[in-house]
Amino acid sequence: MTTAEGRTNYDVIILGAGAAGLMCAFTAARRGRRVLVLEKSNKIGKKILMSGGGRCNFTNLYVAPENFISNNPHFCKSALNRYTQWDFIAMVENHGIEYEERKHGQLFCLHSARDILDMLLKECELAGVELRMHCEVGQILVDQHEWPYQLDISRGKGIDKASIKLKCKSLVIATGALSIPSLGGSSLGYEIADQFGLSVTERRAGLVPFMFSDSLKPVCERLSGLATEIEVSCNGQSFTESMLFTHRGMSGPAILQISNYWRPGDELSIKLLPGVDAENWLAGLKNTQGRGLLKNLLHQKLAKAFVNELQILWWPEYQDTPIAEIPDKALASIGESLNHWKLKPSASEGYRTAEVTLGGIDTDGVSSKTMESKDRPGLYFVGEVLDVTGHLGGFNFQWAWSSGYTAGLYA
Ligand SMILES: Cc1cc2nc3c(=O)[nH]c(=O)nc-3n(C[C@H](O)[C@H](O)[C@H](O)COP(=O)(O)OP(=O)(O)OC[C@H]3O[C@@H](n4cnc5c(N)ncnc54)[C@H](O)[C@@H]3O)c2cc1C
């Protein structure tokens, strides 16, 4: 990678060396643009390295606009069509990176997420992108000359700290969003949007575990580490996936997915036997296996420890009663609870553990064809900083690749 440290003027300066910023950088540099990426931290692509449990779920075979949440559900379409999952998969294959398909079309590296980061850095190097770390952006000034954006940058730490002034024709904001500050979560993108008159929609933590403060908390603690397949619903959305009990509450893919649709105070409805009408099933068992205890019959479908907790919650008075002797009404009520377990999380775990931030820069102010601000020529926004959030399953990275690529064609 070239490091022409003395240079101050660039065609394109990109703030943030994450997924979207790196993608944008080599796409623009391949067009012959002189590109500089500024990163505030000491490490590039931290979220890529941590993603997918260290294997990076880098895209999904079934990308569709329905997998994205935004005030404007149409905004993501153009970029997703311009740079598809197949384009990214082709690049992964060209680099000889081995990957595997897991359920729901999710693609993961076979070896390490580092393969994806190394690939992006290699592409940056080949295209001649410059990269500087430990850079904090101060003031951004605008004038009408050939280099409209002027940036005050402070670089390094302590006595090594130095101030530099840089200029560029196009400025790309790829600083990501608020989730997990230790991995680079930052509000700079919103502050820049504010400076240039773009509005920012309400933000909240997404793809995030839930906590409970009521009588369920000790139950979750006792079951911590146990996973079970569920169908969870909230505000008209449903996901069938596994749920994981944690010391604080609930996590796992089903819970992370539904958290994108949950608001404080909302109730979740959980079907503990997906695909089974528990009320009918229990009524059938009463006829066919009437001497069995409900606990033992449920062990066919749910983990023992979980059934023991459910018994304490729902049928303590019938724990030693054969199912044939449990009154129909009581059995129907237990079936109803298995079909629609109503739970009210006290809160989500927030940005500390959220994989993404819902909301962001209002897409009304940004061209979906170029990612450029409609009112500020030369100012671009890509990746998670925008009000576009994907479901769990590789969709958030696909948005970073697609939006980064699109801006790279015009910046
Ligand atoms: C633990 C975890 C696991 C995840 N796993 C997956 C997964 O498997 N699949 C998936 O699709 N998505 C996953 N995601 C979501 C995905 O990582 C993000 O959606 C994606 O990284 C967003 O890309 P981005 O380039 O917009 O932002 P980021 O990747 O966050 O990059 C932003 C960059 O900007 C830098 N920056 C911030 N502020 C400044 C500043 N002031 N000046 C300069 N630089 C700055 C940051 O340090 C960072 O390097 C995961 C997220 C987390 C937290």
Report pLDDT digits (tens) over 110-123.
999 999 999 999 99
Q: Is pLDDT at 2 greater than 70 in this prediction?
A: no
Ligand 1 probe mutation, 175, 188, 353, most atoms within 8 A of CB: 175
pTM over 0.85, yes/no: yes
Given this model, what pLDDT does residue 162 score? 86
Given this model, what pLDDT does residue 157 score? 76
Q: Which atom of ligand 1 is nearest to the CA of 395?
A: 11
CA distances from 265 to 167, 251, 344 (A): 48, 18, 7
Residue 225: left if φ>0, alpha if ψ -120 to 50, beta else—which one? Answer: left
The arithmetic mean of pLDDT across residues 163-191, rounded, is 93
Q: Which atom of ligand 1 is nearest to the CA of 403?
A: 26
CA distances from 126 to 2, 25, 29, 179, 316 (A): 10, 11, 9, 31, 67
CA 333 to ligand 1 center in whole angstroms: 45
Residues with CB under 6 A from ligand 1: 15-21, 38-41, 46-47, 50-52, 56-57, 137, 174-176, 179-180, 183-184, 186, 188, 355-356, 383-385, 394-397, 400
Over residues 37-49, the pLDDT tens digits come to 999 998 899 999 9
CB atoms within 10 A of CB 210: 25
Domains and their CATH numbers in the chain: 9-204+356-410 (3.50.50.60), 210-348 (2.40.30.10)
CA 378 to ligand 1 center in whole angstroms: 23
SS3 167: strand
Residue nearest to atom 22 of ligand 1 (CA): 384
Q: From CA 386, how far away is CA 54, in angstroms rounded?
A: 25
In the chain, the percentage of residues whose pLDDT exceeds 90 is: 92
Given this model, what pLDDT does residue 1 score? 45
The arithmetic mean of pLDDT across residues 329-343, rounded, is 97
CA 392 to ligand 1 center in whole angstroms: 14
Q: What is the mean pLDDT of the chain?
A: 95
Please say whether the beta carbons of 196 and 37 come within 8 A.
no
